[in-house]
Structure 1
């Protein structure tokens, strides 16, 4: 079981030194960079496990790392302390400067807890900057520290992905660039909304077949597509990987076609992954992979959320794709993922939000 210590009363020294800086400024630096404060020799020992955890390769179809680790010396703390993603890593029985720092800022009770319970990971949000995540990885010995990183892989990657999504969400969602009239139309006609940024347009709306496609930068070298498809009077029987692949291929063959109508989008065989997640309190199957044309020649990454809504008896599929052959696509597909997470049914909207959207429709 994962065990995170998320309170930082033991960081009294640091908090006292930085308390004058509130209200905090946003954390800085690239979204995919994690700065690791560690001794150079010790970093080489923990790097294999830390890299396999946080530098996972995603294929877009080019191989890209989910995060990139950068080792820095503790002497450079002042330079890097306001970066978005930080890790302090050292065993307690070491005598290097990083270990001394960790032992100086954690109290005796917590130190005893870390020694007693080898699964404990220390985290702190907003320590030196807003929307920052700081993690302390320590154990009594190097062997125990390496084992801890290995055992807590899912917890570590989840924490850094979620804070990254939160930051991206805040950057993407701006009421000044929100097309509330389109969102309100979807709400009134179909009973759901998704955030529609100013530079997205409705590419296809097929009410008879419960399909909506919004698109950004059509016919450019950096396209982004999102479609929403739903099946009325559905059942949980639809919620399996084979059905999801079949439904997605059916939708893309029908709607994602080349201008000459000879080619259409299908799911590529390579790098297709699935996972079970909780999305707004619902059991959801998350699928990720690559799309390609049936006649080859084009391709890119996609992310897909499929879930069953008990209240409406609908199966929903929300799918985001990227076509950007000249660019790295890790950040672009994350934008699609975060936009998909804005999806809400009418029943999930609070009264104020509902009235705000309906007012936009009247305008």
Structure 2
């Protein structure tokens, strides 16, 4: 079993036939040079509350919210890693944590509410205080605002990664995306191997463990019917079968239809379909999670798809998927003015 597993990995990597890409120099952070760097890792949240509060209704309500599973992973992993300290230990060291939730219950409050402060003690940092007059008020308020809390910290982490990518990213990949698709997109510098196909780019970090990948492709926009789950999976499979083969002729990437969730949303006034789910290598034992955005390019009457997928059977995958997901948000489609400029040059 072990030899077969290792052989599958080797065949998958060999099938990629990578070429190297470039890097971009590091730039300074937006924060003041006097502001210390925050501690903690992405998607970690420290809760400041008395033990009696944390062990009671409020703590259980907040723990349930923050430990909501992230969709589209092969094993259940929570949205955030949560730690807890009492207020007496909230000092000049612990207040440097990147994501902090403070629970403040007292009679001076007439109703439960949020108070949010950015970069108070460190950068990047977000401190959310959940305050209210009683344990019952605060616990109910937390449960009622589950989506706001998870989206707030999740979006903040995405935005932090996007800001970092704006400053430092793989330049060669960005140039190739601009040349082939007329779009801008930024990916991490360590994802520095590329394979170019017909209307398709596959980039990877080509790592020994924790393989992280980005792909981009496009197809003509025919009607809104392309944004059904069935159409998305069929189109994805058609591109992946051709462009991401395994080590044998009958091996290729496919989508696990039963474990795909799609939803529609808007990003910068553009319609986007988000898909999360699992991929698998047909006739092989490989597989893993993916997240994708399908965006309507009204200028060119097409749909541009950007996707991140992970192969890491030996590791937890939430942080890797989230890291790739941030790259999807850097996609910028050509505007009408951009199209006019290109026509003028011809």
Normalised to the residue count of structure 2, the TM-score between the two structures is 0.80
Matches within 5 A, 1:299-338: 299-338=287-326
Answer whether contact 2:299 2:336 (CA < 8 A) is retained.
no
Q: Does 1:187 align with 2:199?
A: no
| Equivalent in 96, 99, 120 of residue 82 of structure 1 | 96
Q: CA RMSD in A?
A: 2.6
Answer whether contact 1:308 1:314 (CA < 8 A) is retained.
yes
Partner deviation per Cα, 1:54-81 (whole Å, 9 max, x = no partner): 1122363232222122110101111311
Residue 24 of structure 1 corresponds to 35
Matches within 5 A, 1:1-363: 23-44=34-55, 45-58=57-70, 60-78=73-91, 79-93=93-107, 111-112=109-110, 115=111, 118=112, 120-175=113-168, 178-179=170-171, 181-199=172-190, 200-206=192-198, 210-217=199-206, 220-269=208-257, 271-347=259-335
**Higher relative helix content:** 1
Distance 2:101 2:256 in 1: 36
Answer whether contact 1:90 1:142 (CA < 8 A) is retained.
no
User: Structure 2, unaligned stretches of length 5 or more?
Assistant: 1-31, 342-346
User: Structure 1, unaligned stretches of length 5 or more?
Assistant: 1-20, 94-102, 104-110, 355-363
Normalised to the residue count of structure 1, the TM-score between the two structures is 0.76
Give 3-state SS (helix, strand or coil) of 2:216's partner: strand
Distance 1:269 1:188 in 2: 33
Equivalent pairs, count: 305
Give 3-state SS (helix, strand or coil) of 2:42's partner: coil
Displacement after TM superposition at 1:215 (Å): 2.2
Displacement after TM superposition at 1:173 (Å): 4.8
Displacement after TM superposition at 1:288 (Å): 0.8
Distance 1:234 1:34 in 2: 44
Distance 1:173 1:122 in 2: 29
